[in-house]
Amino acid sequence: MKLSAYYRQISVCTILVSLLATCTRRQPDVPPADDGVRLLGVTIPGFPSENISIDQVKKEIVLTVPDSPSSLTFEKMSFQTSAGSSVWQEDHKRVDLCIGGAELVYVLSETKSNAYKFVVKQPRPLAIGFIDNQTKATIGQSLAVRIDNTTDGKGGGVVLLTRTDTGEQDSLRVGCQVDGNQYILETPQRVRPGEYIVALQKKSGRTATAPQKLTFQKGTPSVNELWGALTVGQSLTLAGSNLFADDAPEVLLRRSSGETTRIKPTSISPYGWSLTTALPATIQPGYYDIAVLFQGKTMSTKQRIVVLRDELQPAVGRINNELTTASETKPIVLVRGQHNFATIWPQLYSWGESRVKLDIKLTSIDNSGQSTRFLFSNQSYNGDYPPALNVPATVQSGRYILSVVATYTDGTVSESEPLERIVEVR
C-alpha cells in the first residue's frame, strides 16, 4: 500500500469516529454547577404565563395545569437566563403535560452550568364518575365515564372495576385527553351482570372512587361471523357477547333439506364471550345454517357453516356474494366467460407447489344427469386477482348441481357434498 493511500484511510476513519461521537451525544459537556448561572424565565406559546414558575432550590420548571389546556404537548418555547449564559439546544425542547418533560434544560456559561427539569403539577383533585349520572352499563359495549383532572405529568391511569359481592376485578387503561372530561373506554372483558365499584388509580399515587356504584346488565346475545369449515366430531367455538349460561344457550343446525340438529354447549365463558360445543359423530356432512337459541328462542343471526366428512373433503365457501346462509333457495347465476370470485376449501395458494388440484363438477338437472368438469383456477397474485370460478364457453346453458373434486398429489380423490343451491349457467 502506498503511504498516501494509508494516510487517506486514516483521515477517513478519523472523520467517521468524530461524526459518530457527535450523533450519539445526548447531553453537552457540562461545566461545574454553579447557582450563579440561572434560568430566569420560560415562555411557552399557548400556555398561561401565570402557570409557569421556576423553583431555584429544586431546579424545577413547574407547569401548573390550567383548567382547560389548549394542548397536551408544547414544542416551542423560549428561555430567559442570567447574564453571560444561554440554554443548550433551545430550539429542541418539548414538554408533555400527560407524561411530563423528559429532557433537562441546561443553562451554560463558559465556565459554569445549571440543569433544570420540567415538573407538571395538577392543582385540582382527581375525580371519576358517570356521564349524566348514568349508572348502568351494557355488557359487550364500551364503557363511558367522566374523569376530571387526570393530567399530572405521570401518564395515564387504570380504571378498576370491582364486583361488590365477590371482589372480582377487571381493569381498563385510560390516557390523557385535552378535549373534555368524557372518556369512552375499551369494552370490559371480565365482568358479569351485577354491581361494581369504579375507581381510578394513577402511577403518581393519586386515586379516586366514583361516588355511585355501576350496574352491568346483559345486552342482546350476538355471535361473531363464522368462517372456515369443520369436520364431523370436531369442537366448534362460537365467539360473541352476552352468551351466558343462565340463558340456556343451544346451537341449532339446520340443513337445506330441513333436517335439524340441536346441540348443548360443552363449555360457556363465565363472562359471556364464547361457547364451545362438539359436532356429534352422527351428523351428516354438508352445508348448514347455524344459529344459537337462548331460552328456546332464536336470538343470534343465522349463518352458514360447512361440515366436512374428513379433512380431505373439499367444500364451497362463497361464490361472489352468495352463500351467506344455507336456507336460500334461488339459483346462483354463473355467466360463461365471466370472472366469479369463489372460496373453495382446501384453499389454493399462488406460491409454492400445491398439494391438491381442484375441479368444478357440474351435473345437469335438465339433461339426464350428464356432467362436465373444469379446473378451478387460482390466478391470485398478492391478493390482486382472487381465485376464479370461470365457466368455460363449452358448457351449455341450463341448471346444474355443483360439486368440487379434489385430487391430491398422493392420488387421493375426494368429492364435496352437492352445493345446497342450484347453479344456473347462462
- pLDDT for the residue numbered 163: 98
Domains: count for the chain: 4
Contacts of 198 (CB under 8 A, 6+ apart): 128, 130, 145, 159, 160, 161, 209, 210, 213, 214
150, 194 Cβ separation under 8 angstroms: no
pLDDT digits (tens, 9 = 90+) for 128-187: 999 999 999 999 999 999 999 999 999 999 999 999 999 999 999 999 888 788 999 999
- Classify residue 50 by its DSSP letter: G
Same domain, 136 and 198: yes
Same domain, 320 and 421: yes
Q: Is the pTM of this model over 0.75?
A: yes
Q: What is the mean pLDDT of the chain?
A: 86
Of 100, 121, 142, the last residue of a domain is 121
Exposure string of 131-140, with b = 16+ CB inside 10 Å and e = fewer, is eeeeeebebb
Same domain, 319 and 420: yes
Residue range(s) defining the domain that contains residue 383:
315-425
Q: Which of 142, 188, 143, 196 has its CA nearest to residue 168?
A: 196
Residue 9 has pLDDT above 50, yes or no: no
Same domain, 420 and 323: yes
Which region among 41-55, 177-191, 366-380 has the lowest average model confidence (pLDDT)?
A: 366-380
Query: Cis omega (within 30 of 0) on the bond before 249?
Result: no
Q: Is residue 9 part of a domain?
A: no
Q: Is residue 15 part of a domain?
A: no
As given in the structure block, the three cell numbers for residue 354 are 400445491
- pLDDT for the residue numbered 235: 92
3-class DSSP state for residue 283?
coil
- pLDDT for the residue numbered 171: 96
As given in the structure block, the three cell numbers for residue 379 are 390466478
Residue 21 has pLDDT above 60, yes or no: no
148: domain CATH number?
Answer: 2.60.40.1930
Same domain, 193 and 229: no
Same domain, 341 and 410: yes
66: domain CATH number?
Answer: 2.60.40.2340
What residue has cell string 390550567?
66
Greater confidence (301 vs 350) lies with 301
Same domain, 420 and 335: yes
**How would residue 347 be classed by pLDDT, with cut points 50, 70 and 90?**
confident
Same domain, 299 and 356: no
Q: What distance in Å separates the CA atoms of residue 258 and residue 327, rounded to the nearest whole number? A: 9
Of 101, 121, 141, the last residue of a domain is 121
16, 24 Cβ separation under 8 angstroms: no
